Amino acid sequence: MKLFVFTFLIAALTFVSSCSGGKNKTTGTPDPPFQGEAPQEAYISQSEPGIYGGQLVIAQPNDMQKFNVITADDVASTDILWYHVFRCLVDYRNGDKNPDYDSGLCTRWEASPDAKEWTFYIRKGVRWSDGEPFNADDVLFSYDVVKDESHDEKSRVRTPIADIFNEGKDTNGKTLYPELQKLDDYTVKFKLHQPNGAFLDNIFNLWLIPKHKWEQAFRNGKFNEAMSINEDPANVVGLGPFRIKERTAGQRVVLERNPYFWKVDKKGQRLPYLNRIIFIIAKDFNTITLKFQAGELDVMDRVRAEEFATVKQMESPDIKVEDVGVSLDSYWLVLNQNPGVNPQTGKPLVEPWKLKLYRNQKFRQAISYAIDRDGLVNTVFVGRAVPIYSVITPGDPWYSDDVMKYPHNIDLAKQMLAELGLKDTNGDGFLEDAEGHTVEITISPNAGNSQRVSTAAFIAGNLQEVGIKATSNPLDFALISQLLSSKFNYDAIVLGWRSGVPPGPPNIKNTILSSGQNHSFFPQQKTPSTEWEARLDELMKKIDETADQAERRKMFAEVQRIWSEQMAEINLVAERLAVAYKNKFGNAAPTPLPPRFTWNSEEIYLKK
Amino acid sequence: MKIFLLRRLLAAVPLLIVVTFLASAMLTLSPGSFLDEARMQPNISPEFIARMERVYHLNSNNIFERYWYWLWPALHGDLGNSYASQAPVSSLIGERVVNTLLLTGSALIFSWLLAIPFGVFAAVYRNRWADKLSGFISYFGLSIPSVFFSLLAILFAAKTGLFPVGGIHDQANWDDMNSGQRFADTLWHLVLPTVVLGTIGMAQYMRQMRSEMIETLSQDFIRTARAKGLSWRRVVFRHALGNAINPLVTLFGFSLATLLSGALLTEFVFAWPGLGTLIYDSLIKKDEPMVMAAVAMLTLMLVVGNLLADILLAIIDPRIRLE
């Protein structure tokens, strides 16, 4: 029996080892081969020409939920579908020295001087991944689907993209959207109701879908169920360099070359070079690291702070561990500054004496000085992070360094707290206010995130050093989300923002505007409660309406300055990101913005 | 027999209703909802969240109302669409069932095939080295947490390179394999999780088998059988085993119920694409239709497993009649 099992195992092992690595080489010929001709107005890539063949294997921590690029809102689906399978009218080059928009499916675009009319000139001769021609009608259809004005609430297309185009309501209460006109088969024009200098940011959310495939489903009010995860992948037709070949639940998603892709390289060879991209679903980050170490993965697009040292040791002529810069995601501490009352109990959300402190700029600044950000970086993030003092991180192209900074200064913090009339009156080692309330802060991180839990504990320690009775109390993420978005009766929370792509003011609007849902310290205000919040609202509105990029940058720098002076949220740190990958890939340009390695998947090739 | 079956299946209906109601009530009353993640995303508007709350009926906190929204379509055979993927839950479960059955089935076979002979030998050679060894194995299996055992196995795989680090297939090369290679590859991936799950199950069954066997072997009819000249082997395997196995058949019925539910942690650590990981993810995300369907299915499996055990028992033990 034992002998039998053993021989069987050996046989199995030989089988497996004899077949691995077969297709993982460059063959020089594309498989699947290209079809049709390159479009007459093909996009000419400026990257270094490569060779055909090979595949790229990368991990995806979550299972893919949808093929429907319009309704997809989970990380895995968007990671896989965006850039690789679907495209917008314009491209965004994440990994360039200055990340910016690029003419993708448009040869060019024009904005009117008042930023209210945007015209896009579509590339001629482009085909969908099933060979059907692409033209203005598809753009019109995609836009119709996104803003869906023809169905009732239940069957209306469930997409957050509509909000991006939302321009408020008209006098009849009808939601306003930019009007899209077809000028000819290859020209479309958006007419806006309000000036919007950042309209390309909106356009970069309009993922184009083929009219010939999905019109029927949309007309019948069945679009939400269309392109579901059980759909035949052959029906998932897009304009990206790859198309879905196969998807197996909980295991992998295989993309293969889109044989009709519309880009060519400088030598006139059609793109993409790679035959396949394979996303392996691996839920656990430790598993991903092990798989990379075992050579099963070609790329590890997120090397976490705590494992950076281990992964860095693997560096060799074959493996590169590249520091790609500072993440756009931030960590912050928020003190509840909401003066409202609980509608059920009639009690204030924050005790009045505490609210008075939290709403005091000096108090927040004192807290900020008391926090040892460098210590936080060196302990919790093992050196793989940078301190931040305002709403966006140095990794963001919109970052301005002209912000007020808060180097760790216990004495200054103590002095500022004393100036607020806080002193230790009863000799217990903690500060009291004039009425004898001990200054206590309960900081809640979300329990599932070990870095945030450690951060909260670290900050609590810092605050105790200046005489504030701070404790850390981790809560479930669902609870924290509820506290921040509907209940509002918390004390202090440690959390982070995830940045969208492309970064920029529209992306963070909901946090900065006093009416915003994510204006965490006092959300959804009817009118701004302070002068500086009013100023922020005004600046954000102006940024929206200005087309001149330099002007917008200047105004956004002021937003960051005000934010840092006020310490509206007490911003803490941003992680440094690293990407580890096998050195065999040409044109690899990893970047902090997701998709970190495959944003230019059509240009990446496997070296000989 | 027919009446017995009918009665048992009818009795399952109130059980299903109570269990699903409790599950639905707990989902309703526990804080948070599927939309929490969207709520914390800066680019999703409150209006959109509010609309989705209405569409999914998440705005009501009445446990009866919420249960009804699930029950009514479910009675008409519609278990709903997953919130996360908008695909019918039955199809999502269907995709995974085979993988879980493959793992738990092979673990079940592994544990029973080893548990019965080991248990019998341990009883026959009581207090000798064979007994002590099997005792050690079963204590090991009973006391080691499955997560820890799984992690040890993964570590073993990673350090020695003899086995794959989790997963069900070699995902990167699967497309280029022929069916023989695919079979071997799956088998290779199956070894470690089967050993982990199987050892844990085996320990329990082996202890049970051993104690039943010891009890039976000390009874009079065994002595009689030996006295009338039957061979030891025939006494042990025919007379003693046949009598000692009844409680194990009941256990076997229960183990059928765990076929679909028992491997959650092991699946998670081994990145096995089965039902366990699906249910876990749905619970974490509060994807209610998925969770409800899973709960209903697992309850049903328990009922059916028990029923099968009873029927099996009636077949092998002529003293038992199903009325």
Residues in CB range of A61: below 8 A, 6 or more apart: A75, A76, A281, A282, A283, A284, A285, A288
> Is residue B262 very low, low, confident or very high in pLDDT (cuts 50, 70, 90)?
low
Q: Report which DSSP code applies to B179.
A: H
Residue A277, min C-alpha distance to chain B (Å): 9
Alpha-carbon span A34 to A51, nearest angstrom: 14
The more confidently predicted of residues A601 and B48 is A601
What's at B120, amino acid-wise? V
% of chain A with per-residue pLDDT over 90: 63
Task: Tell me whether 0.85 is exceeded by the ipTM.
Answer: no
Helix residue spans in A34-165 (DSSP H): 75-81, 136-147, 161-165
User: pLDDT (tens digit, 9 = 90+) per residue, A224-239?
Assistant: 888 888 889 999 999 9
> Is residue B201 very low, low, confident or very high in pLDDT (cuts 50, 70, 90)?
confident
Tell me the β-bridge partners of A120: A109, A188
Mark yes or no for CB contact B188/A497 under 8 Å.
no
Is B11 within 8 Å of B3 (Cβ atoms)?
no
Alpha-carbon span B237 to B260, nearest angstrom: 32
Count CB neighbours of B268 within 10 A: 20
Distances (CA, A) of A219 to A47, A112, A215, A251, A367: 42, 34, 6, 34, 56
Residues from chain B that touch A244, judged by Cβ atoms under 8 A, are none
Residue B291, min C-alpha distance to chain A (Å): 16
Is A84 within 8 Å of A72 (Cβ atoms)?
no
Residues in CB range of A161: below 8 A, 6 or more apart: A70, A146, A205, A206, A207
User: pLDDT (tens digit, 9 = 90+) per residue, B96-116?
Assistant: 888 888 998 899 899 888 888
Residue B94, min C-alpha distance to chain A (Å): 10
Report the chain B residue with the minimal C-alpha distance to residue A294: B158
Cross-chain CB nearest to B42 (options A281, A518, A524): A518
Alpha-carbon span A397 to A98, nearest angstrom: 8
Q: Considering only CA atoms, which of A242, A201, A215, A251 is closest in space to residue A89?
A: A201
User: pLDDT (tens digit, 9 = 90+) per residue, A432-442?
Assistant: 998 889 999 99
Alpha-carbon span B185 to B267, nearest angstrom: 18
Tell me the β-bridge partners of A66: A228
Residues from chain A that touch B282, judged by Cβ atoms under 8 A, are none
In the predicted model, is pLDDT for residue A11 greater than 60? no
User: pTM value?
Assistant: 0.85
Nearest 5 degrees, angle CA A404-CA A408-CA A413? 85
Residues from chain A that touch B99, judged by Cβ atoms under 8 A, are 250
Mark yes or no for CB contact B81/A225 under 8 Å.
yes
Q: Considering only CA atoms, which of B92, B265, B148 is closest in space to residue A283?
A: B265
Distances (CA, A) of B192 to B103, B143, B161: 10, 18, 12
Count CB neighbours of B128 within 10 A: 11
> Is residue A24 very low, low, confident or very high in pLDDT (cuts 50, 70, 90)?
low
> Is residue A333 very low, low, confident or very high in pLDDT (cuts 50, 70, 90)?
very high
In the predicted model, is pLDDT for residue B22 greater than 90? yes
Residues from chain A that touch B160, judged by Cβ atoms under 8 A, are none
**Among A289-298, A316-325, A481-490, which range has the highest average pLDDT?**
A316-325
Residues in CB range of A582: below 8 A, 6 or more apart: A298, A299, A318, A319, A320
Residues from chain B that touch A12, judged by Cβ atoms under 8 A, are 184-185, 187-188
Looking at residue B7, what is its pLDDT? 85
Q: What is the number of residues in chain B?
A: 323
Tell me the β-bridge partners of A565: none
Look up residue A345 and give its two tokens.
């109990």
Is A395 within 8 Å of A497 (Cβ atoms)?
no
How many Cα atoms sit within 13 Å of A487 on the Cβ side? Answer: 13
Report the chain B residue with the minimal C-alpha distance to residue A65: B85
Q: Considering only CA atoms, which of A141, A567, A142 is closest in space to residue A391?
A: A567
**Chain B residues 17-56 with a CB less than 8 Å from chain A:** 30-33, 36-48, 51-52, 54-55
In the predicted model, is pLDDT for residue B302 greater than 90? no
Percent of chain B as helix, strand, coil, to the nearest 5: 75, 0, 25
CB-based burial label for A276 (10 Å; 0-12, 13-18, 19+): buried
What Rg, from alpha-carbon coordinates, does chain A have?
27
> Is residue A287 very low, low, confident or very high in pLDDT (cuts 50, 70, 90)?
confident
Distances (CA, A) of B195 to A6, A10, B276: 14, 17, 18
Residues from chain B that touch A283, judged by Cβ atoms under 8 A, are 268, 271, 277
> Is residue A6 very low, low, confident or very high in pLDDT (cuts 50, 70, 90)?
very low
Looking at residue A505, what is its pLDDT? 86
Place of tokens 């900081």: A443
User: pLDDT (tens digit, 9 = 90+) per residue, B39-90?
Assistant: 777 677 778 888 888 888 888 888 999 999 999 999 888 888 999 888 899 8
Alpha-carbon span A564 to B78, nearest angstrom: 53
CATH of domain B96-285: 1.10.3720.10
What's at B58, amino acid-wise? L
Residues from chain B that touch A246, judged by Cβ atoms under 8 A, are 175
Looking at residue A274, what is its pLDDT? 95
Place of tokens 């071997």: B184
Residues in CB range of A571: below 8 A, 6 or more apart: A330, A331, A332, A388, A389, A390, A391, A563, A564
Looking at residue A30, what is its pLDDT? 87
The domain segmentation of chain B, as residue ranges, is: 2-75, 96-285
Looking at residue A25, what is its pLDDT? 62
Over range B184-210, report the average pLDDT: 89
Alpha-carbon span A8 to A354, nearest angstrom: 71
Look up residue A509 and give its two tokens.
């609007």
Alpha-carbon span B224 to A144, nearest angstrom: 87
The more confidently predicted of residues A317 and B271 is A317
Mark yes or no for CB contact B175/A246 under 8 Å.
yes
Mark yes or no for CB contact B84/A74 under 8 Å.
yes
% of chain A with per-residue pLDDT over 70: 95
Burial A178-199 (b: 16+ CB within 10 A, else e): bebeeeeebebbbebeebbbbb
Residues in CB range of A34: below 8 A, 6 or more apart: A257, A259, A260, A261, A270
Look up residue A279 and give its two tokens.
């996303």
Residues from chain A that touch B93, judged by Cβ atoms under 8 A, are none
What's at B168, amino acid-wise? I
User: pLDDT (tens digit, 9 = 90+) per residue, A458-478?
Assistant: 999 999 999 999 999 999 888
> Is residue A159 very low, low, confident or very high in pLDDT (cuts 50, 70, 90)?
confident
Distances (CA, A) of A575 to A70, A387, A388, A481, A596: 30, 9, 10, 22, 15
> Is residue A363 very low, low, confident or very high in pLDDT (cuts 50, 70, 90)?
very high
> Is residue A584 very low, low, confident or very high in pLDDT (cuts 50, 70, 90)?
very high
Mark yes or no for CB contact B167/A511 under 8 Å.
no
In the predicted model, is pLDDT for residue A3 greater than 70? no
Q: Considering only CA atoms, which of A51, A45, A59 is closest in space to residue A584?
A: A51
Look up residue A501 and give its two tokens.
């792509």
Tell me the β-bridge partners of A444: A493
Q: Considering only CA atoms, which of A460, A458, A442 is closest in space to residue A450?
A: A458
Mark yes or no for CB contact B184/A23 under 8 Å.
no
In the predicted model, is pLDDT for residue B173 greater than 70? yes
Helix residue spans in B62-172 (DSSP H): 63-75, 89-124, 129-143, 146-160
Look up residue A34 and give its two tokens.
């290209």
Over range A385-408, report the average pLDDT: 93
Looking at residue B261, what is its pLDDT? 66
Alpha-carbon span B304 to A8, nearest angstrom: 35
Phi first, then psi, for residue B111 (nearest 5°) are -70, -40
Phi first, then psi, for residue A577 (nearest 5°) are -105, 145
In the predicted model, is pLDDT for residue A223 greater than 80? yes
Mark yes or no for CB contact A71/B86 under 8 Å.
yes
> Is residue A1 very low, low, confident or very high in pLDDT (cuts 50, 70, 90)?
very low
Count CB neighbours of B21 within 10 A: 15
Q: How remote is the C-alpha of A537 from its chain's centroid?
A: 23
Strands (E), A336-431: 385-387
Alpha-carbon span A297 to A59, nearest angstrom: 7
Is A603 within 8 Å of A271 (Cβ atoms)?
yes
> Is residue A295 very low, low, confident or very high in pLDDT (cuts 50, 70, 90)?
confident
In the predicted model, is pLDDT for residue A23 greater than 60? no
Q: How remote is the C-alpha of B123 from its chain's centroid?
A: 28
Burial B164-175 (b: 16+ CB within 10 A, else e): bbbbbbbbbbbb
> Is residue A18 very low, low, confident or very high in pLDDT (cuts 50, 70, 90)?
very low
> Is residue A140 very low, low, confident or very high in pLDDT (cuts 50, 70, 90)?
very high
Looking at residue A177, what is its pLDDT? 94
Q: How remote is the C-alpha of A227 from its chain's centroid?
A: 23
How many Cα atoms sit within 13 Å of B126 on the Cβ side? Answer: 12
Looking at residue B260, what is its pLDDT? 67
Is A88 within 8 Å of A204 (Cβ atoms)?
yes
State which H helix or E strand residue A186 sits in: none
Residue B142, min C-alpha distance to chain A (Å): 24
CB pairs A-B closer than 8 Å: 189
Q: Report which DSSP code applies to A447.
A: T
In the predicted model, is pLDDT for residue A557 greater than 60? yes
State which H helix or E strand residue A488 sits in: none
Q: Does B246 touch chain A (CB under 8 A)?
A: no
Looking at residue A544, what is its pLDDT? 83
Distances (CA, A) of B67 to A212, A551, B130, B281: 40, 55, 54, 21
Strands (E), A289-363: 299-300, 319-335
Count CB neighbours of A600 within 10 A: 23
Cross-chain CB nearest to A296 (options B38, B39, B172): B172
Place of tokens 């039943």: B212
User: pLDDT (tens digit, 9 = 90+) per residue, A76-101?
Assistant: 898 999 999 999 999 999 888 888 89
Residues from chain B that touch A249, judged by Cβ atoms under 8 A, are 92, 95-96, 273, 278
